[in-house]
Structure 1
């Protein structure tokens, strides 16, 4: 599913230009003390940059999303255990949920909101589908293909850490599969970074 950029931009622009908006635009940087909380009920508007969300108890990362984005449209998705990771850096502003809904209603932005909500739901569904996989190879294959489709991830991420931090699987198990795939010339890896992927076998 493609990200609904136009619909997100329409809502964000409308909110910024609204006389009822009193929140200022802030910059989130992990090295500074922050006042943006995932456990609260405010809607968070990500203007640019990227963010990752992590569960502090399990240390599992839900994934990386780039701006623009509207976070927490679905209420009560994130508990106080969820935080932005140290890789997150973005500009944002917040809005109380009741004011957000009133604005959407007043400006008849329900159709745009539905598109954004559908995309948010799809992202959560994708994550849950991976978590339901009971075969480690299928999980590794999924993330190798995901990384291979994103040049920035290929350049930046250590693939073993990327997979283990999102799944809870052991490093040894993931590395065993990566080594065997490299040995079979299905992938190439240098200093932990993925260089290329061929069509991966159905089973390991």
Structure 2
């Protein structure tokens, strides 16, 4: 790699991620929390949960983080921090028990049956627009994620995951190594990830300490 590291990026891929994350519909989440929380039950954060074990469920995350996993191979598909609401897609179009969620140990999370959530929303139909906004946010992020996963270039995948990791809270970055994050969210080999990471750190493109991300200086488009 011969590109000189720069402090600011004009990379459209990174700018798109920035725009999506800035558009998280916090006002919609707050309105739905106000409606649904009084009827929800707090659950044990340490236990993985299914969206559809006993019928659709909605999860309301007030504090902490959650990870969405694909059940067939435990691949980590996405991560989000509070406040957040998830399970809405399964509420509208159930597809079965194909994914599950894990929560950070210090999370505060509540569960509500899909039937009860639908009944409450039908009493205040204007709030279905807030459901649509949250689902649109999920769709935009999933589309961005697939842009760097659905290709044959390992560097593009690693680059996308580094940008994704940078968006998480500092506390989470300090508790997760770059290697483990990418291993858990892709099908790349350990050796491939380590080789690319060594080249990036040696070239001054990112800063890491004990394998944990400190700062991205600039990630070149080509490797």
Flag whether TM exceeds 0.5 (same fold). Answer: yes
Please give the per-residue CA displacement for 1:71-119, whole angstroms capped at 9, x wherever unaligned.
1111267753533347455223322323322321211212222211211
Within a 5 Å distance, the mapping from 1:1-204 to structure 2 comes to: 1=20, 2-17=23-38, 21=39, 23-30=40-47, 36-40=49-53, 41-75=56-90, 79-85=96-102, 87=104, 89-107=106-124, 108-150=126-168, 151-204=170-223
Q: 1:72 to 1:104 in 2, by over 3 A?
A: same
Q: Which has the higher contact order (CA 8 A, sep 6+)?
A: 2
RMSD: 2.4
Per the TM alignment, residue 46 of structure 1 is displaced from its structure 2 partner at its CA by 2.0
Structure 1: where are the runs of 5+ without partners?
none
CA distance in 1, matches of 2:134, 2:174: 29
From the superposition, tell whether residues 161 and 133 of structure 1 become closer, same or farther in structure 2 (CA, over 3 Å): same
Q: Matched residue of 2:64: which SS?
A: strand
SS in 1 for 2:130: helix
Select the structure that is richer in helix.
2
Contact 1:164-1:170 within 8 A present in 2 as well: yes
Q: Is the 8 A contact 1:51 1:89 kept in 2?
A: no
SS in 2 for 1:27: coil
| Equivalent-residue separation in structure 2 for 1:51 and 1:25 (angstroms) | 15
Question: Structure 2 vs 1, CA of residues 88 and 125 (structure 1 numbering), >3 Å: closer, same or farther?
Answer: farther
Question: Secondary structure, in 3 states, of the residue corresponding to 1:110?
Answer: helix
Q: Secondary structure at the match of 1:109?
A: helix
- Report how many aligned residue pairs link the two structures: 196
- How much does 1:61 deviate? 0.5
Normalised TM-score (structure 1):
0.83
Name the TM-score, length of structure 2 as normaliser. Answer: 0.77
Does the 8 Å CA contact 1:161/1:171 hold for their aligned counterparts?
no
After superposing the two structures, state which structure 1 stretch, 137-146 or 82-91, moved more.
Answer: 82-91
Other structure's SS at 2:221 match: coil
Q: Which runs of 4+ in 1 moved over 6 A?
A: none
